[in-house]
Chain A
């Protein structure tokens, strides 16, 4: 499973980098999304893949379950996904405004604006 996920992560990073290097802003955003998904999976795998019980302490019992899993990586990923969601929403709105202002979504057009 680790190997498979490692390959998936690698592919996602590769796709992300490829898209980041394209000229279109839509593809830039897609690239960043791929990047963040790859990173989330990376945390998931790095935290250890392991089948077990959630660590819930029921009433009266103080001990954790016999075969516990680590919930923290999932909490981290959840936070990262939420942040990524907000940022992506902002970036899409930014792209929309940029498209309205310039009528293009070509990153090469940015160069002209530099010296103005």
Chain B
């Protein structure tokens, strides 16, 4: 069941979903949104792609294996806990730095964002792994 229209749509929609997922992820910093929902959206883009083509194509498009996404996600989540130790605060304390970027204004970056990025990658990887496994059978 391969439809050219669906394939075309999936190929065009994939970058859009990814950008949107990143936006939702960053929005989660202070407003509704966040790593979990962003990760789900990113995964949804690839699942749609896999439905239009097949899972091998989608895995090729993903370039890295979903497992490495999970590894990277868990590592980011773990690394985000380290700055608090160097700052001498209790474990998991949120540490922040403010950057002034021209045109964009003040950007406040902190370990919670890093942790959330870990969540984003982990959710993305886990969902893609599960769905691809089920689809391949």
A-B pair number, CB within 8 angstroms: 11
With a cutoff of 8 Å between Cβ atoms, the chain B residues found around residue A93 in the complex are: 130, 133-134
For B, the interface residue count at a CB cutoff of 8 angstroms equals 7
The reply to whether the CB of A43 lies closer than 8 angstroms to some CB of chain B is no
The reply to whether the CB of B36 lies closer than 8 angstroms to some CB of chain A is yes
Could you give, for residues 83-108 of chain A, a 1 whenever the CB lies within 8 Å of some chain B CB and a 0 otherwise?
Answer: 00010011001001000100000000
Contact A96 B134 (CB under 8 A): yes
- How distant is B35 from chain A, measured CB to nearest CB, in Å? 11
Contact A89 B130 (CB under 8 A): yes
- Chain B binding surface, main DSSP class: helix
With a cutoff of 8 Å between Cβ atoms, the chain B residues found around residue A76 in the complex are: none
With a cutoff of 8 Å between Cβ atoms, the chain A residues found around residue B126 in the complex are: 86
In the assembly, what is the distance between CA of A100 and CA of B132, in Å? 17
In the assembly, what is the distance between CA of A28 and CA of B126, in Å? 24
Contact B36 A82 (CB under 8 A): yes
Chain B interface residues toward A at CB < 8 A: 36, 126-127, 130, 133-134, 137
Chain A interface residues toward B at CB < 8 A: 82, 86, 89-90, 93, 96, 100
Ordered nearest first, which 8 A-B pairs have the shortest CB separation?
A93-B134, A89-B130, A82-B36, A96-B134, A93-B130, A100-B137, A93-B133, A86-B126
Given A89-B127, A89-B130, 9 additional A-B pairs, CB 8 A:
A82-B36, A86-B126, A90-B130, A93-B130, A93-B133, A93-B134, A96-B134, A96-B137, A100-B137
